[in-house]
Amino acid sequence: MALPISIERLLDGHTVEGHRIEFKGGWNPAPIYRSICAFANDIANEGGGYIVVGVDEDNGLPIRPVRGIPLEEIEPLGKDMITYNNLIRPIYHPKTSIEEIDGKTVFVIWCPAGQDRPYEVPDDVTVKEKKYNYRVRYNSSSIVPKGQLLRELLDLANDTPFDDRANTSASISDVSQTLVRDFLVKTGSKLAQQIETEPFRNILEAMELLAGPREAIYPRNVALMMFNDHPEKFFPYLQVDITVFPKGKLRDPDNFIEVPPIKGPIDSIYRKTMAYLETNVIKENVQKRDYKPEADRAFNYPIHALEEIVGNCLFHYDYRKREPITIEIEPDGMYISNPGGPDRSLKPDDFTKSIVRPRQYRNRRIGDFFKDLDITEGKSTGIPTITAAMKANGSPAVKYEFDDSYSWFMATVPVHPVFLNDTVNDTEISRDDTINDRKGDRKGDAEEDIILTDRQLAILSLINTDDRITTEEIKSHFTESIATINRDIAALKKMSVLIRVDGKKMGYWLITRRIKGL
């Protein structure tokens, strides 16, 4: 079965961190199975790893073009693996795939984190007298754990990360084949070609999205988070709430504007949140200087910093808590709060020094999916990326806070100093909107002053129900021509009520303003 990502993306080192990949010029079972065991134990909850046979390495990087492995050697190699897999205690079966790259054939062993940790394996699976040891990854090596490392491994026996657990309240039918197909196309996986011919269950098994015995199999939580149109049915309050306080929360707490809750698959929540911030919040200041030809440019918030913060909120979110991610926007800054604090191995000084290396991750699978979609970067790179983006924009540093019980986390993003005298959205909000605007009343909102036709309101209602609806599907609800529907959509875009995110084929609609009646 094919890999969930393309072989090219696997080898380029941007999607999967280097310490989670091993390159082997040829088939050598003893060290390969020590690494298979270490990846299966996944002591850091990073999602396991990959071993690529037929690729030489230089300081951990693949040498291109690859050496390859003769095709006639792969079949007996696969038979050997059946025997060696049974030597792992408890039995563990990694997934394999034959891939083509640089005109050569390579053999990829994908080792997802096992469900029956801890695992042990003989030091050499090929010898008669076998000595068993546990194995874990330490940097880029597979070592025998001792002391505290061994105790941590044994403690993982009944501690599967929440996103990788089976959800017994759901069934395979709750996983959207359309969303899975879209993901596989975006990531360049060969599974996208097989989804039309293979049983859907086989595709989900190949992606490690199912758990349980064959007679009682369930989707894992991550399958519902990523590939269900309404994951809030399974994870209540899985949403992002954005609130704007034009005069400041302390100065005028009753004067605020609520954005409709942003819901959907978690990658869609990310894209919709960023689309709203980019369209309605982020501004650029340009100042020309007499003493130099280039103008000074600064944004109130650098987009790359916000992308990293929002992406990591969804990655590290505690999906068992019944609280939303919140973003509060005030004249002096943006306050992004995430239910579920950081790993307990982290201290406040780690964030101040931009050295954030958690011992374990709450959600290991989400991170892999987000990296496949280029939502987040490699592990432990988020804080340095945010710091660099703020510095490059000339903005003050982000402040990170969490409580002593590690139950919440907040990032305070200061506005760039040149915007400090601005009122949030002051050019777009009338006096009626900013006085006595209380939560949930929908009175005085600027959006209610927009004059829409009944047909335009009906179009928005359809989009509010299904943000991936096509123009042709919208047309099917009306007697008017497709040209008329397109003119209505263009008018809604011109009024800044509606935008299209990620293009026509793979994208979705985003209603950017609160509309009376929706």
Residue 423 is predicted with a pLDDT of 53
Place of tokens 């990523």: 226
165 plus 152 within the same structural domain: no
13 plus 114 within the same structural domain: yes
The one-letter amino acid code at 372 reads D
Q: How many domains does the chain have?
A: 4
* 234 assigned to some structural domain: no
Residue 507 is predicted with a pLDDT of 79
110 plus 23 within the same structural domain: yes
Residue 121 is predicted with a pLDDT of 97
84 plus 206 within the same structural domain: no
* 109 assigned to some structural domain: yes
23: enclosing H helix or E strand: strand 21-24
221 plus 363 within the same structural domain: no
Residues 198/204/205/206 CA torsion (nearest 10 deg): 70
164 plus 62 within the same structural domain: no
* 9 assigned to some structural domain: yes
CATH code for the domain of 474: 1.10.10.10
For residues 25 and 292, what is the distance between their CA atoms, to the nearest angstrom?
55
For residues 204 and 346, what is the distance between their CA atoms, to the nearest angstrom?
35
121 plus 34 within the same structural domain: yes
What are the angstrom distances between the C-alpha of 236 and each of 172, 222, 322, 337? 20, 15, 6, 17
User: Which residues in the chain come in under a pLDDT of 70?
Assistant: 1, 157-158, 213, 289-292, 345, 353-360, 377-380, 421-449, 505, 516-518
319 plus 365 within the same structural domain: yes
The one-letter amino acid code at 253 reads P
Number of alpha helices (DSSP H) and beta strands (DSSP E) in the chain: 17, 22
Computed over its alpha carbons, how large is the radius of gyration of the chain?
A: 26
* 58 assigned to some structural domain: yes
CATH code for the domain of 132: 3.30.950.30
Quote the pTM value.
Answer: 0.69
Burial of 251 (0-12, 13-18, 19+ CB in 10 A): exposed
Q: Pull the structure tokens for residue 271.
A: 């894209």
For residues 400 and 78, what is the distance between their CA atoms, to the nearest angstrom?
49
Residue 445 is predicted with a pLDDT of 44
CATH code for the domain of 351: 3.30.565.60
Tell which of 127, 157, 187 closes a domain.
Answer: 157
282 plus 147 within the same structural domain: no
Residue 438 is predicted with a pLDDT of 35
403 plus 477 within the same structural domain: no
For residues 90 and 117, what is the distance between their CA atoms, to the nearest angstrom?
8
112 plus 188 within the same structural domain: no
* 265 assigned to some structural domain: yes
* 366 assigned to some structural domain: yes
The one-letter amino acid code at 474 reads I
Q: Are 393 and 385 in contact (CB under 8 A)?
A: no
Q: Are 473 and 491 in contact (CB under 8 A)?
A: no
178 plus 266 within the same structural domain: no
* 347 assigned to some structural domain: yes
Q: Which range of residues forms the domain containing residue 506?
A: 450-511
* 493 assigned to some structural domain: yes
Tell which of 229, 254, 282 closes a domain.
Answer: 229
**What proportions of the chain, in percent to the nearest 5, are helix, strand and coil?**
35, 20, 45
Show Cβ contacts of residue 281 under 8 Å, excluding neighbours closer than 6 positions. 300, 301, 329, 334, 424, 425
Tell which of 106, 132, 157 closes a domain.
Answer: 157
